[in-house]
Structure 1
């Protein structure tokens, strides 16, 4: 399943398989927090979805980039206007199971301590396997067991992550792609996805190797493939407009012939 969704990343896949194997033998994944670290666009979020699919468990995305309010994590007090439970209570309610995979996205961009509390300390209580078995939500005012939840975090850099959080994470580094790898990803993944989203059949388009190489080396010189995906989608959209115009011209000619 990991090979179906991602090209290369053999070390990352091997480490994830080791993690899954140990969890299967122990019967639980308690005590481990995976952190996928790497430049933007290398597939950190999609790897989290693939892990959930391989484990056959529910997936929930929790983005904490720029999060300053602790109540988003631990819930509001009931005395507050518009009070609501925290994200983890909402997660368990949405997925309907006690052992989902929760992807905490952009944890390196977590807000700093302010008048609304310290989100890093609240996140520590959420992730620490010694504490999250009795996680307290302020809205419900009861403890919730989160020890069966598998947490996967993503980050671009580790410098801004607080040390107590960093020490509890197991880091899996993702490097950028070279040109040859980008060519393969574009052929086997990006073109198929763009064609399916735009409603274009494979026989209607043929992007040459020279055009794709020029696109990668001159317009998409980045570590990941996010910008490359945008450029390929742009090509397919323009092609879709051209096909639509040709079909419109054909229908007009047929209409005139029928009238005559």
Structure 2
């Protein structure tokens, strides 16, 4: 299957949605203006999901019509890798693999080496993602990153069924839409950290399917339920630990090991980071007023205990921020901004030496974990109730990122965390403090704050997809909290009926016994009285009859 067949299938699916869930409104001529109003499709009531799916298919179809790929060459590779410090052997290996792909395609060579997937393996901060971006640049293609670390759900790749709340397209289809091309370079990051099994399937199997050139011409995303061709996509994988990559997946990969940088390489990279920081964050302002000595760089490098340069980059950015703080003070006082030279002493002043952490043994870690759990348990018993648990969530409507736990984009809190994860944790903490002793106090506070939660949920219902997901989660949390209140109340009532027996119960028992005794005596008296009266009547009647009989005889 080629990309044109994919476009045809997408159009067919769109037509099916229109025929099943929309009606055609014919065009007409406006009698007042004479303007010709074109006809349009009008979606049926309650077809919001189908309408959204139609637009997803439309954007995917338009993306399949575009390509940014150009013929790769050694010059384009070398030009892109010029900014990558070191790794001469790795650069050569990558160049050979990419050039062989081009040669095999041109000569129609069916080799087992054809179609192998690059996988960069190395410690954090060694430039794995940067390498992948430079390969995309050398191929003149768009770049897209998918992080599968911490998730075992294959639906992050294959998409989820559209019938469930929070369902969405998979990241492969999303990559094509976001890059607006059918042939982007997709980086699958931290592949060894993905779980091996899930109730929806296996993440490794999903990865094997999309990475196999013989299978990825027929890829089906469950959300759109259309088979598409993803064979033109270039996949690159990264991992921190080679041994943790599943064997079936490892056999498909061309491993490129990226070891840590030495001090000389880090010094050169530091200069590049400084230039990029001034350009990216400060538009090259005051760049000529900044200087850092070689000894200061060595001191700065010694403060980072890592094989990569991630911490080094953060500390360089911190120093430059400090410099701009000094220039801002000078400007505020009306003084001329002066050149700042960062020496060894200034580095120690801005970034003080962190105390060395003693390496913990497994036994120490276990003991520490047990102590934390015990302390947390004691705090739950002793701590006063915090109203923070009851207040509605704070979040940014425009700030959203992908959450591996929920396998979708979610809104972010002011602390840059997933609001759905935060709400779940908040609900868990909330329900954990509800017990028989503080039931009435907590319920009183909850009833006051519950309306605010309901109001927040109502406002989010008509918002974006992420806001609607948060609204559903808030409703679920309210149900869980109310359920816990009912359960505690039920348990308390059962305990009261089973265990409560005091002086009041004794009084009621004695009183009931006296009443029953009096009532029984009264019934006995009435019965006895009626019996005697009846017996007496029978005796007089008998005497009278006997008397009459005797007279008749005489």
Q: In the alignment, what sits opposite 1:66?
A: 150
Gaps of 5+ in 2: 1-78, 107-112, 336-554
- 2:217 partner SS: helix
**110, 135, 156: which one aligns with 1:51:** 135
Question: Does 2:299 correspond to 1:210?
Answer: no
Q: In the alignment, what sits opposite 1:165?
A: 249
Contact 2:136 2:143 in 1 (8 A): yes
> What is the root-mean-square deviation in Å for CA atoms of aligned residues?
1.9
Q: Distance in 1 between matches of 2:81 and 2:134?
A: 9
Query: Which whole-Å deviations, capped at 9, do the CAs of 1:194-214 have from their partners, x for residues lacking one?
Result: 222442433211111111111
Query: Which whole-Å deviations, capped at 9, do the CAs of 1:72-122 have from their partners, x for residues lacking one?
Result: 111111222233221111111222222211110111111231323221211
- 2:123 partner SS: coil
Structure 1 window deviating more from structure 2 (99-108 vs 138-147): it is 138-147
Q: In the alignment, what sits opposite 2:224?
A: 140
Q: Distance in 2 between matches of 1:235 and 1:140?
A: 49
When Rg is computed on C-alpha atoms for both structures, the one with the higher figure is 2
Q: How much does 1:147 deviate?
A: 1.5
Q: Distance in 2 between matches of 1:30 and 1:132?
A: 15
TM-score scaled by length of structure 1: 0.90
Question: Does 2:85 correspond to 1:7?
Answer: yes
Mapping of residues 82-231 of structure 1, within 5 Å: 82-187=166-271, 189-199=272-282, 200-217=285-302, 219-231=303-315
Contact 1:102 1:150 in 2 (8 A): yes
Question: Does 2:101 correspond to 1:23?
Answer: yes
- 2:242 partner SS: coil
Query: Which whole-Å deviations, capped at 9, do the CAs of 1:186-229 have from their partners, x for residues lacking one?
Result: 12x11112222442433211111111111112x11311111111
Structure with the higher helix share, 1 or 2 = 2
Q: Distance in 2 between matches of 1:90 and 1:43?
A: 25
Contact 2:260 2:308 in 1 (8 A): yes
Question: Does 2:110 correspond to 1:32?
Answer: no
Query: Which whole-Å deviations, capped at 9, do the CAs of 1:121-173 have from their partners, x for residues lacking one?
Result: 11111212222121121122222212111110011111221111010001011
4+ runs of 1 displaced by more than 3 Å?
26-30
Q: Distance in 1 between matches of 2:330 and 2:250?
A: 57
Q: Distance in 2 between matches of 1:142 and 1:234?
A: 49
Q: Which has the higher contact order (CA 8 A, sep 6+)?
A: 1
The count of aligned residue pairs is 250
Q: Distance in 1 between matches of 2:163 and 2:291?
A: 61
Gaps of 5+ in 1: 252-260
